[in-house]
Structure 1
Amino acid sequence: MDNQKIQISEEQKGQRLDKILSLINEEWSRSQVQQWIKAGNVLVNGTASKANYKCQEGDSIEITIEEPEELDITPEDIPLDIYYEDADVIVVNKPKGMVVHPAPGHTSGTLVNALMYHCKDLSGINGVMRPGIVHRIDKDTSGLLMVAKNDMAHEKLVKQLQEKTVTRKYNALVHGVIPHDAGTIDAPIGRDKRDRQSMTVTDDNSRHAVTHFHVLERFRDFTFIECQLETGRTHQIRVHMKYIGYPLAGDPKYGPRKTVDLNGQALHAAVLGFVHPRTEEYLEFEAPLPAYFIEFLETLRIDR
């Protein structure tokens, strides 16, 4: 059982308890925090509270995180494209179409199923459904992910994500021709009230989000860009590019009604860099664009 304590600062006073806790750790979702509060695992000044409690400066918050249950996800012999592996960390290049971790009703064919077959030792911090998972990319986004093999590695990698020291660069193809060569999108992201399965730029129950981008190549109706994440919010690049009027090509959720058929958004996690949790050496990896992405860029070059 893991106990964590925090004290509410002047900047945090007046905010909801569940919101504050969900902002502390990128891996703690708002719904997960609310479950902990409902179960009595979060104490405010030694007393159980409600999710909508408005915190006061100096409040002492104690969070009790239960030990993860014994893993019951079935290991599956699914090939992995491994870029790096040692006793602490494994870096994989996830293919488009693969879900990162199991969820209710979807417990097979995921990256986690493949990892559990490949290596028996994965960190247990994220519990039964997400062993080893430090960060995620969407099902139809391809590219590099770092996975923790033990709790020490997990905690240190998550800390780097929180401190914004992890290098994460993505290649994306967007609708429209971006006239400027580079830009920064600094806009908070939260749940869309009209569609709880989607995210949107909003000031309501949102989290700080920053995406930097620069143009790699322009076409007649599209722009090929590189995005660098400063934060790692759900669907961040997809939401931010839609927000500035250049939605991702092939994106069924955030793209225009008439978009190209690419079986999902044209988005690839191309570069991943981090400090090794044990050796403290900086490691950086780069994965080339998948074949479908390269082929579509070639058709655009011909058309241009």
Structure 2
Amino acid sequence: MFSKQQFAETGQMEGPRDPVAAIRQVRVTEKQQGLRLDRGLAEQLPELSRSRLQQLIRQGQVWLNGRPCLDKDRPLQAGDEIEVRIPPATPTTLEPERIPLDILYEDEDLLVINKPRGLVVHPAPGHASGTLVHALLAHCPHLSGINGELRPGIVHRLDKDTTGALVIAKHDQAHQHLQAQIQAKTARRIYLGVVFGRPAQSQGTISAPIGRHPVERQKMAVLPSGQGRAAVTHWQVLERLGNYTLMQFELETGRTHQIRVHAAHLRLPIVGDPLYTQSKTSPVKLSGQALHAWKLSFVHPRTGQPLQFTAPLPEEFERLLRQLRSQAG
């Protein structure tokens, strides 16, 4: 194993190196011989997710034996000295906007919000303003800068028209801890969705890789084995409502549009989904897919206390359920 990690606070490295906020130093022993660089670091630095470590490697922030190493696949050798330099948070130039937030919980480290339908999480082409990030900056000017100036504090995302619970990190330490929990699958994200159709079984798991649709580039799709990124969704029937079903979905991975793509792949598309549902009809008028991030649980990054939050269903979702229950008798 690596030797016990060392931690140092510093503002400026010696020589030409860039300023850093913190340094992690580890040493490779014979038991780690041949292990891939990013995997070895993720094992010994659990507060940093593997994706975060890979990002630091690409940025030249990981030094191997006194030299920057840009190869995450580099095999480790016994005696290697590794230094991981964590840069200061990137300041944002985005303008805060006074957009109302439905806050489920807040403390000095994080906040959990109930995101409404129609709110884009962070700036992107076509959405330069009016996003959740703009609202967060008005509420809390200091957020984690790990994801850069366009996504301060954003640990995970929800689609524009998916409602529900979302956790925001106020500083880098909280962000790293929360990301590591998602990476390790110890944080739980449970969704409710109403689908067209009646699954034959009461529960199941779909494991199917997801990537960009080969033709319709605004969509994602289940791809053949060996293509796309691994994606796993657990599902369970909660209520059968005639030709519709209220289902619970739990994410094991977090790919773009994952639940929507997997549900459509099962031929159980989410009601109201503008991209993955062929039928545009619905028992009630919907402004987007009937998918809601219902429950979110994780360990508090500072106290270690288990936390769970439940986001109330939006009125539109409740109205859909009332109508389907009425029709089903």
TM-score (norm 1): 0.82
Superposed, which structure 2 residues align to 1:35-46 within 5 Å?
none
Which one is further off, 64-73 or 230-239? 64-73
Match of 1:75 among 96, 104, 114: 96
Determine if contact 1:251/1:259 at 8 Å carries over to the other structure: no
1:90 maps to 111
| 4+ long deviations beyond 6 Å | 2-13, 39-45, 59-66
Matching of residue 157 in structure 1 with residue 178 in structure 2 = yes
Superposed, which structure 2 residues align to 1:209-248 within 5 Å?
209-248=231-270
2:315 maps to 291
TM-score (norm 2): 0.76
Matching of residue 258 in structure 1 with residue 283 in structure 2 = no
Determine if contact 2:297/2:309 at 8 Å carries over to the other structure: yes
Deviations 1:53-94 (A, max 9, x none): 995655999998765543111111111111110000100000
C-alpha spacing 1:71/1:175, structure 2 compared with 1 (3 Å): same
Matching of residue 131 in structure 1 with residue 155 in structure 2 = no
C-alpha spacing 1:245/1:44, structure 2 compared with 1 (3 Å): farther
User: Matches of 1:212 and 1:143 in 2, distance apart?
Assistant: 18
C-alpha spacing 1:64/1:271, structure 2 compared with 1 (3 Å): same
The structure number with the bigger radius of gyration is: 2
Determine if contact 1:217/1:225 at 8 Å carries over to the other structure: yes
2:190 maps to 169
User: Matches of 2:190 and 2:163 in 1, distance apart?
Assistant: 12
Q: Which residue identity does 1:76 align to in structure 2? A: E
Matching of residue 276 in structure 1 with residue 300 in structure 2 = yes
Q: Which residue identity does 2:247 align to in structure 1? A: I
Report the Cα offset of residue 147 of structure 1.
0.4
User: Matches of 1:227 and 1:196 in 2, distance apart?
Assistant: 25
Q: What SS does the corresponding residue of 2:263 show, helix, strand or coil?
A: helix
Report the Cα offset of residue 40 of structure 1.
7.4
User: Matches of 1:11 and 1:43 in 2, distance apart?
Assistant: 16
Deviations 1:136-176 (A, max 9, x none): 01000000001000111000000000000011110001111
Q: Which residue identity does 1:287 align to in structure 2? A: A
1:17 maps to none
Determine if contact 2:89/2:172 at 8 Å carries over to the other structure: no
Q: What SS does the corresponding residue of 2:186 show, helix, strand or coil?
A: coil
User: Matches of 2:212 and 2:84 in 1, distance apart?
Assistant: 24
Report the Cα offset of residue 179 of structure 1.
2.2
Report the Cα offset of residue 298 of structure 1.
1.0
2:207 maps to 186
User: Matches of 2:179 and 2:166 in 1, distance apart?
Assistant: 13
Which one is further off, 199-208 or 265-274? 199-208
Q: Give structure 1 stretches of 5+ with no counterpart.
A: 14-23
Matching of residue 301 in structure 1 with residue 325 in structure 2 = yes
User: Matches of 1:197 and 1:41 in 2, distance apart?
Assistant: 33
Q: Which residue identity does 2:291 align to in structure 1? A: L
User: Matches of 2:279 and 2:50 in 1, distance apart?
Assistant: 31
2:134 maps to 113
User: Matches of 1:192 and 1:62 in 2, distance apart?
Assistant: 39
Q: Give structure 2 stretches of 5+ with no counterpart.
A: 1-19, 38-47
Determine if contact 1:199/1:239 at 8 Å carries over to the other structure: yes
Q: Which residue identity does 1:146 align to in structure 2? A: V
Determine if contact 1:73/1:107 at 8 Å carries over to the other structure: no
Q: What SS does the corresponding residue of 2:219 show, helix, strand or coil?
A: strand
Matching of residue 101 in structure 1 with residue 122 in structure 2 = yes
Determine if contact 2:25/2:84 at 8 Å carries over to the other structure: yes
Determine if contact 2:91/2:145 at 8 Å carries over to the other structure: no
Q: What SS does the corresponding residue of 1:137 show, helix, strand or coil?
A: coil
Report the Cα offset of residue 299 of structure 1.
1.1
User: Matches of 2:289 and 2:89 in 1, distance apart?
Assistant: 34
Deviations 1:214-240 (A, max 9, x none): 111112221111111111111110111
Report the Cα offset of residue 9 of structure 1.
9.5
Q: Which residue identity does 2:232 align to in structure 1? A: V
User: Matches of 1:136 and 1:234 in 2, distance apart?
Assistant: 9
Q: What SS does the corresponding residue of 2:91 show, helix, strand or coil?
A: coil
Q: Which residue identity does 1:215 align to in structure 2? A: V
